[in-house]
Amino acid sequence: MSELAPLGPLLLAAVRPSAEGLLRRALGWARDLERLGVDVPLPIAHDLGLLLAAPTNYLEIAARRALAAAVTGHPGAAKMHEGYVEAIRALADDDTFERVRALRPSDDLVVVLLTKLLSGHESGRRRGSSEGIDVLDLGSVGSLESLERKLPALFAEAPRDADIEAIARFLRELTRLRVVLDTIDLDTVRLLAVVGQDGGAPSASIVSGLAQVELLSALSSLQANDVVNFSLELLPSVLETKRRSAPGTYATGGYQGLTRRGSLDSLVLTELAWDDDELMRRLIDDEVLFHARERSEDEASRLHLVLVDASASMRGDRTTFARGVAIALAKRLELEGEEARIRFFDRRLYEPFGGGASARQRRGALAAALPHVLAFRGERGRSPERVMRQLLAELEVLRARDRRSPVVHLVTHGAFYAPRALVQEVHSRASLFAVFIAPHREAQDDESSPDASLDIDFLDLLDGHWTVDQATLSKSDDRARRAKEIVQAIPKSQERPTSVRASLPPTGVRPSAPRSQR
Amino acid sequence: MSDLLHDALSRGPSLIERGQPNEGLAMLLGAAAEVDADARDYSALLHALQRAFHQTGNPRGVASIAWYLADVASPSLLTAPPPVDVARTQRMRGDEAAAARAFEEAGLLAHAAVSRERAGDLSGARALWSRLSHRVEGNDERVAQSARRPEAAAEQSYVLGLVRYNVARNSSSSRTDRARRDAIVGSVGALEEAASQFETLGQRERAFDCYNALAAIGATTGTFEHALEGRVNLIRVLREDYLQQYALQQFDEAMAVAEAASEFAAAASFAREAMSYARGLGLAADATTYAKRAIDLHAGTARAILRAGGPPELAENALLAAIGLAAEIGLLARAYGLYQEAAAIEGLDEVRRARHRRGAEHLRGADDAPAREGSKPTARPPGPPLEVWIVDVIEWEQGGLAEEACADILFDAGSRAKTAIERARDPATAPLRRRALLARLLALDIARRQGDGSLPQAAGALVELVRRLGEIVDYRVLSPLEALARHEAPEVRAKAVEAAGNMPFKRSAQLLRAAAEDDDRTVVEAAARATARKQSPVFVDPLRRLARDATAPAVRTAALKALTGIDNSEAADAVLTALEAGSAADRAAIIEALRKRGRIDRGSKLMIAARERMARGVSAEVAHDLQAALGSLE
């Protein structure tokens, strides 16, 4: 049997790509599906993958001419295959396929979408005769330009009954496949596109490099759809944020603005026009102007830890709000050139996902972490005390290793009973902001403020806090407005944290005033 | 009447009259061991024994029999015994306020508080719970010292959480009551901490108790977050412990709680998880039932969002989740209806609505797949006891004293017993109560003799006490057995482990785990024997852990042998994994155990799992072992 024998079933494929590159991509998808443990017949993975990934003008949808002769030994196969070609043609015109194609999905995303479409499907239970595709080294097989010519011979190298039967099963299950197709959440994919943009330049391959498993769990997660919808409500306002261009004093780039501190070589020359006494006074009073240098991103002055509660208490609307706010906040901070790490906690504080030490890695950190943020599942107990202790220990390490000022943003429920003394210690090492989603009560007192149902005794220690009640969560506009307020109210790095109270929205939407309850 | 009873009744009292009290009492107590005797005969014997205790100056023995007989009219019962017994007598008389005073005098604040609650004195109860809370927090030297062990520290956090919750329970429910709020906050914090510590120590059974209490706090205070936290983690612990039906039972309760709180999205997530879980267990009918429930709940979520003026996209997501699930289980007509509902959502953009209309078109005329005939969901066991915040604190306060645990059992009654007399004669509970009476009398005797120095070597008597406790199959004797399993004499420890082997409660496995690491060989051997008897699905997880972690080879092989006797997939997996990767001794033990069982049912989980492993491919050596253990797999 020849090395390319596993490709023989492609004779049954209904789609023919116009470029060898597309064919190689399709074979790569089939290989990745095999590695993910999803047994999908090669022709189906090939055809549906190409419909998802490539513009239709790059594809020809028709049966291979040699097919009729190749399946003569299988009664009814040729007729059945006509039905298959028709089905593929209909799917090519399907709205969902068109919308996915418009997003130019990466190979990872195509694999994940194929998994979602076919993993529960009867046609996806037996892969046919293309076993070995996972070990086929596409790099060493040379050009595949002549594959089309070779297909009849490759097809004849092994019995192909299983492949023909797989296509028949596919047709029987077509209705269910269409339902799965219709219920794929395209907004999740869209969010990946929006968040993956770097500095306004659209990324060609938005989710490339993401772990397929993380992506798959994000697309399969029930809550992910809600989080995505909510994030998409918030992100347009966040994306208005321009990359922060804070002036610095180091010569890492060109001059960028004016500042009142600097070295003599960057003194604004017109300052020398003052008479000596006036120049001396200006020097003493710090009024002399210097040219400011463009600042390196590595000099970002703050490191933000966005801690999102993933305990069981957050199930339902709370999780949607918490993760949506966390994504939007992280995106805002990222656009401002600051590093934000989204981390989850339940009984313990989990490690951040994605990101890295370099500025470039940091820029893509949110995109890399997004599937993780959407799909993360904690719910292994709840221990605010332990989490705060862990945070404290990490802040200690940070203080020794990182010169940036840490800022902690806590997004949790209103029954987060951390010991006051611990919160005080955290606050002595980092700025501390918190969003509390007020406890759900069956008989919510309409007259009481959201804060009335908070049992938190450390509110006065926070640099700012916001309370979101159930009534706000249940109303579309209120919820989005409140979330935007929260995301925008975090002070920029030049501002002192206390300014959050001074820059508050008008009464009624203002963060709750801190108060001690003990 | 048996000869023994007749002989004891005729000679025992006269021996005491003639100045031979020990002989007379021994004869009467020996006859009392006939716990299956006729009620009237047994009653006559106990009256004789009670008179003997009178004569020999044993007021606690007198009181114990009085409780069993439900005859507490004698005034001496309120003067002669110590306060703790007086309190119980008052309780039997129905005077809970007087019982509370006596318990308080005995230093048993939790017992006193419970009596106050029963007497309707909530402020008095609250004050007592509050005092106890301060004591547990560390003021009490005994507690402070014991808290140096990690297990004791976790136990202290747990008890503290329960006690604080009891403070809250007995406080005014007004929102302005700061003390109540502080008590709830403190309670939740302590329970979270305890659960975390127990899980770290690998004591999931105890973590389960913490989450159970947390769920109850959520229910009492109407705080859904606590209820969720408790329920989700209860389910997790039960799943990790392979207690499948109990886990499904908790899923049912969690759904009900979430629905009652109008948290449809959370309820739907529970239903979906339950569906996946049941599907994984091969419970197809349960999985379908949960899937249908999830569809209803998703649809309910969507409607609730729309009713409340919520985001239409979220309502759409909920409907799409329902559609996907309906299609998955073949309910295409249902999916069609849901598509139409999605297409009609007001406020949703037209592109999306058009997409749903197209989706509906695809399914026009489709039918729901017929339900499989004869497939019914499996029955669920009852949930855990509700009042753990009382029961567990009482147990903690009793400190593992056998006499007190047995006294509680003496007060038991069958469900139909309404009066004291009915209780005394209740045939349903009589054998258990008689055994408890005997064990209590023995425990009291040992304590008295140790107190007056007449029993310098108590080990022999304690071994006998453990034997008697082992005959009482009741959850409440686990605490005394655990205390005795820490005794300095190895023969007492070994006997306690042996007794634990008879207990069907999962908690008894903790005792085996500790005993498996004992320095004394007899204790380890006893642990191995007890382990081999634990052939129940309840013990799959502890047995797997013992088979994996126990340092004593005898305990490891005993655990593996026990697993071969349990027909579920987790046990089968553990057995086959040991056959594939275990030591030579482990493999030999399994082969021997399976051969002794004789022919194994082809449809058993073990055979099915073995065939699957063979199909996946195993080494020649493992294939040989499988063949040797199971015979032909074809």
pLDDT per position as a tens digit, A24-56: 999 988 888 887 777 788 999 999 999 999 988
pLDDT for res A505: 36
Pairwise CB contact (< 8 Å): B312 & A442: no
pLDDT tens across B187-222, in order? 988 999 899 888 888 888 888 889 988 988 888 888
Pairwise CB contact (< 8 Å): B265 & A183: no
CB interface of B with A, residues 268-287, below 8 Å: 268-269, 272
CA distance A196 to chain B (A): 22
- Of B527, B533, B405, nearest to B478 (Cα)? B405
How do the residues of chain B divide into helix, strand and coil, expressed in percent and rounded to 5?
Answer: 75, 0, 25
Is A90 an interface residue toward B (CB < 8 Å)? no
Is B328 an interface residue toward A (CB < 8 Å)? yes
Once rounded to an integer, what is the mean pLDDT over residues A317-345? Answer: 88
Pairwise CB contact (< 8 Å): B366 & A442: no
CB interface of B with A, residues 333-372, below 8 Å: 335, 339, 354-356, 358-359, 362-363, 366
What spatial distance separates the first Cα and last Cα of chain B, rounded to whole Å?
59
A-to-B residue pairs, Cβ atoms closer than 8 angstroms: 155
CA dihedral B188, B190, B192, B196 (to 10 degrees): 180
> Per mean pLDDT, which of A488-502, B575-589, B607-621 is the most reliable?
B575-589
**Contact present, A322 and A486 (Cβ < 8 Å):** no
Q: Which positions ≥6 away from A53 have C-beta within 8 Å?
A: A22, A25, A101, A105, A107, A110
pLDDT for res A509: 36
pLDDT for res A455: 72
The three-point CA angle A455-B311-B336 to 5° equals 125
pLDDT for res B103: 94
- Of B466, B426, B358, nearest to A178 (Cα)? B358
pLDDT for res A507: 35
pLDDT for res B624: 78
Q: What confidence category does residue A350 fall into, taking pLDDT thresholds of 50, 70 and 90?
A: very high
Phi/psi region, residue B34 (left: phi>0; alpha: psi -120 to 50; beta: rest), is: beta
| Angstrom distance (rounded) from CA B336 to CA B359 | 8
Give the distance from CA B609 to its chain's centroid: 30
Pairwise CB contact (< 8 Å): A383 & B308: no
CB-count burial class (<10 Å; 0-12, 13-18, 19+) for A442: exposed
pLDDT tens across B557-591, in order? 899 889 888 888 788 888 888 888 878 888 888 88
Is A512 an interface residue toward B (CB < 8 Å)? no
The token pair at A289 is 């102007």
| Angstrom distance (rounded) from CA B132 to CA A431 | 39
Q: Output DSSP code: residue A408.
A: E
| Angstrom distance (rounded) from CA B32 to CA B64 | 13
**Contact present, A332 and A236 (Cβ < 8 Å):** no
| Angstrom distance (rounded) from CA B439 to CA A298 | 74
pLDDT for res A442: 45
Once rounded to an integer, what is the mean pLDDT over residues A354-372? Answer: 65
pLDDT for res A283: 85
Is B102 an interface residue toward A (CB < 8 Å)? no
- Of A93, A95, A181, A179, nearest to B336 (Cα)? A179
**Which chain B residue shows the shortest CA-CA distance from A445?**
B175
- Name the strand (E) or helix (H) holding B610: helix B605-616
**Contact present, B319 and B301 (Cβ < 8 Å):** no
pLDDT above 70 as % of chain B: 91
pLDDT for res B51: 85
pLDDT tens across A96-128, in order? 898 888 888 888 888 888 888 887 655 444 455
Q: Which positions ≥6 away from B278 have C-beta within 8 Å?
A: B248, B284, B286, B287, B290
Once rounded to an integer, what is the mean pLDDT over residues B476-482? Answer: 91
Query: Amino acid identity of B103?
Result: F
Phi/psi region, residue A477 (left: phi>0; alpha: psi -120 to 50; beta: rest), is: alpha
Give the Cβ contact number of residue B148 at 10 Å: 8
| Angstrom distance (rounded) from CA B86 to CA B97 | 12
Chain B residues with CB-CB distance to A316 below 8 A = 263, 265-266, 269
CA distance B120 to chain A (A): 27
CA distance A371 to chain B (A): 18
Q: Which domains does chain A have, with CATH numbers?
A: 5-184 (no CATH), 236-242+299-441+450-502 (3.40.50.410), 247-294 (no CATH)
The three-point CA angle B488-B493-B498 to 5° equals 175
Q: What are phi and psi of A402, to 5 degrees?
A: -130, 125
Q: Output DSSP code: residue A63.
A: -
B145 pLDDT higher than 80: no
Name the residue among B181, B232, B314 with its Cβ closest to that of A226: B314
Pairwise CB contact (< 8 Å): B320 & A315: no
Give the Cβ contact number of residue B566 at 10 Å: 22
**Which chain A residue shows the shortest CA-CA distance from B267?**
A316
- Name the strand (E) or helix (H) holding B71: none
Q: Which positions ≥6 away from A447 have C-beta within 8 Å?
A: none
What spatial distance separates the first Cα and last Cα of chain A, rounded to whole Å?
80
- Of A365, A243, A237, nearest to A304 (Cα)? A365
CB interface of A with B, residues 6-65, below 8 Å: none
pLDDT tens across A152-203, in order? 888 888 888 888 998 998 998 888 888 888 888 777 766 665 554 443 333 4
| Angstrom distance (rounded) from CA B77 to CA B61 | 11
Once rounded to an integer, what is the mean pLDDT over residues B102-112? Answer: 93
Lowest mean pLDDT segment, chosen from A215-229, B46-60, B163-177, B220-234: A215-229
The token pair at B7 is 């002989």
Once rounded to an integer, what is the mean pLDDT over residues B376-395? Answer: 73
A139 pLDDT higher than 90: no
Q: What confidence category does residue A310 fall into, taking pLDDT thresholds of 50, 70 and 90?
A: very high
pLDDT for res A197: 40
Once rounded to an integer, what is the mean pLDDT over residues B523-547? Answer: 88
pLDDT tens across B30-82, in order? 888 888 878 788 888 888 888 888 888 889 999 999 888 888 888 888 888 89
Is A313 an interface residue toward B (CB < 8 Å)? yes
Q: Which positions ≥6 away from B32 have C-beta within 8 Å?
A: B42, B45, B46, B49, B434, B437, B438, B441
pLDDT for res A402: 79
Pairwise CB contact (< 8 Å): A474 & B305: yes
pLDDT for res B379: 65
**Contact present, B329 and B291 (Cβ < 8 Å):** yes
**Contact present, B343 and B356 (Cβ < 8 Å):** yes
pLDDT for res B246: 85
Q: What confidence category does residue B423 fall into, taking pLDDT thresholds of 50, 70 and 90?
A: low
Helix axes A317-335, A476-489, angle to 10 degrees: 40
pLDDT for res B339: 94
CB-count burial class (<10 Å; 0-12, 13-18, 19+) for B418: exposed
Q: Which residue has the higher pLDDT, A461 or A360?
A: A461
pLDDT for res A503: 34
How large is the ipTM? 0.72
Name the residue among A187, A320, A380 with its Cβ closest to that of B236: A380
Q: Which residue has the higher pLDDT, A515 or B48?
A: B48
pLDDT for res A447: 45
**Contact present, A319 and A437 (Cβ < 8 Å):** no
| Angstrom distance (rounded) from CA B491 to CA A102 | 77
pLDDT for res B378: 66
pLDDT tens across A368-413, in order? 778 788 888 887 888 898 899 999 999 998 888 877 889 999 999 8
CA dihedral A316, A321, A327, A330 (to 10 degrees): -130
Pairwise CB contact (< 8 Å): A474 & B309: yes
A355 pLDDT higher than 60: no
**Contact present, A121 and A176 (Cβ < 8 Å):** yes
B487 pLDDT higher than 60: yes
**Contact present, B353 and B340 (Cβ < 8 Å):** no
The token pair at B88 is 């119980």
The three-point CA angle A107-A109-A113 to 5° equals 120
Give the distance from CA B208 to its chain's centroid: 9
Bridge partners, A413 (sequence order): A437
B105 pLDDT higher than 90: yes
pLDDT for res B424: 60
Q: How many CA atoms lie within 13 A of B519 on its CB side?
A: 5
CA distance B421 to chain A (A): 45
Task: Return mean pLDDT, chain A.
Answer: 77
pLDDT tens across A441-456, in order? 544 444 445 555 677 8
| Angstrom distance (rounded) from CA A82 to CA A79 | 5
| Angstrom distance (rounded) from CA B560 to CA B565 | 9
Which single residue is written with the structure tokens 């406080």?
B171
Is A482 an interface residue toward B (CB < 8 Å)? no
Biggest CA–CA distance in chain B, Å, is 103
Lowest mean pLDDT segment, chosen from A491-495, B127-131, B471-475: A491-495
pLDDT for res B77: 85
Length of chain B: 634
pLDDT for res A213: 66
Q: What are phi and psi of A99, to 5 degrees?
A: -70, -35
- What three-state secondary structure class fits A255? strand
CB interface of B with A, residues 167-226, below 8 Å: 175, 178, 181, 184-185, 188-189, 192-193, 195-196, 199, 207, 222-226
- Name the strand (E) or helix (H) holding A339: strand A339-345
Q: Which domains does chain B have, with CATH numbers?
A: 3-111 (1.25.40), 147-262+386-398 (1.25.40.10), 284-377 (no CATH)
Q: Which residue has the higher pLDDT, A131 or B117?
A: B117
Bridge partners, A466 (sequence order): A435
pLDDT for res A362: 60
Name the residue among B185, B222, B356 with its Cβ closest to that of A417: B185
Strand segments, DSSP code E, in A209-325 are 247-248, 255-259, 290-294, 302-309
pLDDT for res A112: 84
| Angstrom distance (rounded) from CA B496 to CA B352 | 68
The token pair at B383 is 């949930």
Q: Which residue has the higher pLDDT, A300 or B50?
A: B50
B452 pLDDT higher than 70: yes
The token pair at A164 is 């023909």
A274 pLDDT higher than 90: no
| Angstrom distance (rounded) from CA A206 to CA A367 | 8
- DSSP per-residue codes, B234-303: HHHHHHHTT-HHHHHHHHHHHHHHHHHTT-HHHHHHHHHHHHHHHHHTT-HHHHHHHHHHHHHHHHHHHH
